[in-house]
Amino acid sequence: MLPVVLTIAGSDSGGGAGIQADIKAISANGGFAASVITAITAQNTRAVLAAEPVSLELIGAQLEAVFEDLPIAAVKTGMLATAPIVALVSQRLQEYRAPHLVVDPVMISKSGYRLLDEAAIATVRERLIPLATLITPNAHEATHLTGRPVRTRQEAREAAQQLLELGVPGGAGQGGAFGR
């Protein structure tokens, strides 16, 4: 039986990011991909034209459907869009005791489109990151999560340490994982 990996993220109509990219990566690495869609985007290889979050009720129902039926081996989050979505996902991941959580705190597209509202950053920091096994912020995301600039390797190390101290297992200098 293939390990079931759940991706919780936005849908990318261009197929290069979000749920579509996660499903490709999970499948290419020998997993069975399950998904919970948190937002719908209209995007292509050049830009995100629009994005709309999915209702909390539908996100909750998707989470219930997947966790009640499939033996989830790992979970990855991507675009969560709003603070209420981050809070709901965090709560449900705790309730379902989701194993091996990878948090990719998707905030802004490469073209500059905001994919996570400003109010949600604190919720990611306070509610989602402490559940993570691994976090994968880029320099821009690490800057927003820590409130400190990340331009050099030393600044990246300091930001990584600060993020690990939020609760990532193995953090605080004990071999925790951080990257991208």
Nearest 5°: phi and psi at 136? -130, 50
Task: Return the CATH number at 102.
Answer: 3.40.1190.20
Which pLDDT belongs to residue 1? 83
pLDDT(56) > 90: yes
Domain range for residue 94?
4-136
Does residue 164 fall inside a structural domain? Answer: no
pLDDT tier at 169, thresholds 50, 70, 90? low
154: pLDDT strictly greater than 60 = yes
pLDDT tier at 174 (50, 70, 90 boundaries)?
A: very low
Cα(180)–Cα(52) distance, integer angstroms: 26
pTM of the predicted model as reported, rounded to 2 decimal places: 0.90
In this model, does residue 90 exceed pLDDT 60?
A: yes
Q: How many domains does the chain have?
A: 1
Closest-CA residue to 124 (of 84, 71, 173, 65): 84
